[in-house]
Structure 1
Amino acid sequence: MKHYAGLDVSVKETSICIVNETGVICREIKVASHPEDLVQALKNPEWRLVRIGLEAGPLSQWLFSGLAEAGLPAICIETRHAKAFLKAQMNKTDRNDARGIAQMTRVNLFRPVHVKTLTSQHRRAPLTARKLLQEKAIAIENDIRGLLRNFGLKVGIVGTVGFDDHIRELVDGMPDLGEIMKPLLAARQKLRETFMGAPPQAAISTIDVPLRFRNSRAVGPALGLTPVLNQSGESYRVGRVSLCGDGMMRALLYEAAQVMLSRVRKWSWLKAWAMNVAKRRGRQKAIVALARRLAVIMHRMWSDGTEFRWTRERMPAAI
């Protein structure tokens, strides 16, 4: 008889529920949230496991890799689908969630999530650290602005490079404030020097395996850059972009699209296309459309090894 397992993962312990192909619960147990403990509990000749489902979360990549290396049929389930399915339960407990996930895997009512390779996770780690350092540097800048505003000193609009000199000019003649600003400016400078040196590998770490997309156009929806459709009967409404998927990659694509439209002086067919979209539908929608197309182009370049062409090749004249 076939068996299916559901794992409800928490930081310390994981609730395991094993059901047979008719939905009858065969075993329930709690083990430590560690791959070795999960393998020991699941790799038993008594169970003919077809699928082992666990919800996507902070520990899912680590646990999934450990289960997969042990030869167990692990599947990472999309979080929104799991939450929608588990909402039908009256009481939310770890035990009930494990039961619900086990039933999801049994009836095949789930959407699997791609688990990134270890190489991709290593690429992602410095990007996450870079984003954290950048956020801390911006937070220090905002705190400096707020602190000086209490004394009637307005920082105003100032560039990143000239920020330190501008602050020192404002507090010149106020030694008490100057001493307070010194460690804050030093911390800000150190943070910016650190994250500016981090390599931008967001696209590679996010896509991970290009072949997992059926075509390049499928990258846009995966990154949440396509509008949400709401259709019911005669009603058909197109909403805002879904904002699903990797938020960091989506933000970087949006920023790149803004820069291409406003600062890049070199003309290209891609910029011309985006400018035409801006004329017809507005600048905001043009930026989103350009961000989506940048994702498609990068995926295509990665897939077939081509380089970006600034101008379109002319078609040969018909004979």
Structure 2
Amino acid sequence: MRNPNILAIDLAKNVFQVCKTDSQGNVVFNREVTRLKLKALLCKQQSSLVAMEACASAHYWARYARDLGHQVKVISARSVKAFQTKQKTDKNDALAIATAASLQHIHSVKIHTVEEQALQALERARHLALAQQVAQSNQIRGLLSEFGIVIAQGMSALRVNIPLVLEDAENGLPDSFRAVLHRLWAHLNVQIEHVDMLTKQLELSVSTDPVCQQLMKLEGVGPLGALGLALRLGKGENFTNGREASANIGLTPKQHSSGGKERIGHISKRNADKRLRSILFQGALSVISNVIKRPARTTKEQWLKTLIERRGKKVAAIALANKTVRTAYALLKSNSVYQPQLLA
């Protein structure tokens, strides 16, 4: 059954393109509106299906429209692209969003609550701060190597050696570069403190979240993995089953099947949550490094050891991450507690 009408919004900062279609798919209007006029339009319109691409500010507008009684559908930009048959304009983009929203098999991404949005913002801020810290430390090492001073990898090596390099008056460093190095080192210390503060805040938020604590009982799932799974899966309402949830993260192999013949390939490199998949993969590798050193204690560890012998550590790590996502989906869907099955 089609919705009475669809409001497709091509999001932007100040000027938005809104395309309204009726129950027959006919375009009622397709025009530009300002931010204030868009809010007024959503207030005046009867209950509709409001659709938009998953991009910046999409969660805000989705929550705003849902609070006004509208149905909301936030669609992946890759899915919308398939329905853009003409040139790239705001009108054609809004029309493509309306067309994609009218199809039942085009699903909506999970809409974050305000609390979930705050947790995601904290994780993203820490991720960027950590990347900037690593970039700054690599720059210091690279600049020093041009003067014949080589420092080992790791932040602890920098903390030990940089003060010694600054105090050594006979290492041949020019005074101009010594001043630059002092500024870079002071800036890096500020970044280290910034990362430490964000990490502590993230750990505190995860420790007080019951869903994250529930997910951290899974093998290889730490604070970052638990937070990523909680934000991605929610209560499982956006997925039909665990395999669909795992495929959404990019832990299932791609298919290129035709004529009744199934062809299974590698895991997807494009349609994936690469950050969460990387975190789960690293956690699975840590589990494997411990499992291979001792006898299996649970049925999952027994299955994992057998898989390692047959396919190797990396394939086993992907398989374990896949199983972890499916188990997490089942736990969140049924609101149950994870209990590994011990061997007799």
Both proteins in one fold, TM over 0.5: yes
- Residue type at the aligned position of 1:274: L
Identity across matched positions, percent: 24
Which runs of structure 2 are paired with 1:77-226 in the superposition (5 Å)? 77-86=75-84, 88-89=85-86, 91-106=87-102, 108=104, 110-156=106-152, 158-169=153-164, 172=168, 173-174=170-171, 176=175, 178-192=178-192, 193-197=196-200, 198-199=202-203, 200=223, 201-226=227-252
Structure 1 residues 27 and 109, CA gap change in structure 2 (3 angstroms): farther
Indicate if the aligned counterparts of 2:253 and 2:266 stay in contact, CA closer than 8 A: yes
Query: Shift of the alpha carbon at 1:236?
Result: 4.0
2:337 equivalent in structure 1: 306
Change (3 A) 1:44 1:290: same
Residues 296-305 or 134-143, more deviating? 296-305
Q: Is 2:75–2:101's contact at 8 Å kept on the other side of the alignment?
A: no
Q: 2:326 aligns to what? A: 296
* Deviation per residue, 1:123-159 (Å, 9 max, x gap): 1111111101110111112111211121222324x33
CA contact (8 A) 2:285 2:314 kept: no
Unaligned stretches of 5+ residues in structure 1: 315-319
- Per the alignment, residue 317 of structure 1 pairs with none
- Tell me, in whole angstroms, the C-alpha distance in 2 between the residues paired with 1:183 and 1:221: 46
Q: 2:288 aligns with which of 241, 261, 284?
A: 261
Compared with structure 1, are the counterparts of its residues 272 and 79 closer, same or farther at alpha carbon in structure 2 (3 Å cutoff)?
same
Structure 2 gaps of 5+ residues are 204-222
Residue of structure 1 in register with 2:40 after alignment: 40
Aligned length: 306
Let me know the Cα RMSD of the aligned residues: 2.8
Alpha-carbon distance in 1 for matches of 2:286, 2:186: 29
Instruction: Give distance in 2, aligned partners of 1:107 and 1:308.
Output: 40
**SS at 2:6 equivalent:** strand
Offset at 1:168? 4.1
Q: Which amino acid aligns with 2:37?
A: D
1:98-127 CA-to-partner distances (Å, cap 9, x unmatched) read 122223334546332221222211211111
d(CA) in 1 for partners of 2:103 and 2:120?
34
Q: Is the Cα–Cα contact under 8 Å of residues 108 and 238 in structure 2 kept in the other structure?
A: no
Q: Bigger CA drift: 230-239 or 57-66?
A: 230-239
Alignment match, 1:14: 16
Query: Following TM superposition, by how much is the alpha carbon of 1:211 offset from its aligned partner in structure 2, in angstroms?
Result: 4.5
Relative to the length of structure 2, the TM-score reads: 0.77
Question: What are the Cα deviations for residues 279-311 of structure 1, in whole angstroms up to 9, with x where unaligned?
Answer: 2112221221122222233444444432453x6
Q: Normalising by structure 1, report the TM-score.
A: 0.83
- Structure 1's 98 and 139: CA in aligned 2 closer, same or farther, altered over 3 A? same
Q: Which residue of 2 aligns with 1:75?
A: 73
Change (3 A) 1:254 1:154: same
Q: What SS does the aligned partner of 1:231 have?
A: coil
